[in-house]
Amino acid sequence: MTATPPSPSVALGMPQLPAPAYPAETHARLKADAEAIIARYPDSRSALLPMLHLVQSEEGYVTRTGMAFCAELLGLTTAEVTAVATFYTMYRRKPSGDYQVGVCTNTLCAVMGGDAIFDELKEHLGVGNDETTEDGKITLEHIECNAACDYAPVVMVNWEFFDNQTPDSAKRLVDDLREGRTVEPTRGAPLCTYKETARILAGFPDERPGAVEATGGAGPASLIGLKLAKGELPQQRVVHPRGQDGAPDATGPAPSPAEHLSSHDAPQQTAPSDPENPAGPVTGDGSEEGK
């Protein structure tokens, strides 16, 4: 018979030892925060999601120590806490970078250029999805629809909005982050680290002066209907028929890859530009008809 040798990743025998506790001083500080969170709710268990954000603000991800801490304060088992922590995508389960760069690759953003941005960032940073650069600065992720479709394609850094991105603007953004330059979102406050962001998510208001009012009121797309209604018509756009040749301009943004590998890494063996493609090269998509 063909006996398969046991996989080294499967450890049999003794169960994992309990997670080490936080150092006493850390524990005392987090306990005070946790008690403030618990006091917001009629039932203590409701504090679990914010408390997981809290422990994430301590270590940058949800550790076994953090989960044991939540269990201890809420009178839950670690299994109950783990079940919750692993359900939600915002809780990280391994050490990650100071800045989480999330590229929306849900349909609308993907089509509008999110796929191209994500691909170029992967290449530019030399990391894949959910991986962190060697300097520990950036964790790259593809994210789902972030409720900013009128600003597509959207990139989120530590959950602040960077609207209407292109591959070039996104590459500049990550370069600036890695070199420690000040980066301001289109909508949101000047960036803080992922840990500091997690503390806001735990329900502790951002105390930095100017953080609430940063980048002002509604963004331009949010105002378009209001301006039309008030007769402040935006500049009329000239309608150009698309060119006959469709040749890419060398000075334009880098062409996105001809194939559109999905962010979920769907296999794709043919591409319109591939001479081997049985469908032949793409010659038209209706663009010749002009408007």
Q: Which of residues 4-43 bind another protein (CB under 8 A)?
A: 40-43
Q: From the CB of residue 17, how many other CB atoms can be counted at a distance below 10 Å? A: 7
**DSSP H or E stretch at residue 260:** none
DSSP 3-state assignment of 73?
Answer: helix
Q: Which of 147, 179, 180, 275 binds another protein (CB under 8 A)?
A: 147
**Measured between alpha carbons, how far is 11 from 288 in angstroms, rounded to an integer?**
62
Contact mark string toward another protein, 214..253, x via CB under 8 A: -xxxxxxxxxxxxxxxxx-xx-xxxxxxxx--x-xx-xxx
DSSP β-ladder status, 160-162 and 131-132: unpaired
Residues that bind another protein (rule: CB under 8 A) add up to a total of: 121
Is residue 145 a contact point for another protein (CB under 8 A)? yes
Q: Which of 19, 27, 84, 193 binds another protein (CB under 8 A)?
A: 84
Q: Which residues ranging from 182 to 201 are in contact with another protein (CB under 8 A)?
A: 185, 187-189, 197, 200-201
**Measured between alpha carbons, how far is 212 from 204 in angstroms, rounded to an integer?**
13
Q: Which residues contact 190 (CB under 8 A, 6 or more apart)?
A: 182, 183, 184, 208, 211, 214
Site stretch for another protein (CB under 8 A), options 13-21, 121-129, 175-183, 258-266 = 258-266
Give me the least distance between CB of 23 and another protein, in Å please.
26
Site stretch for another protein (CB under 8 A), options 19-27, 87-95, 121-129, 173-181 = 87-95
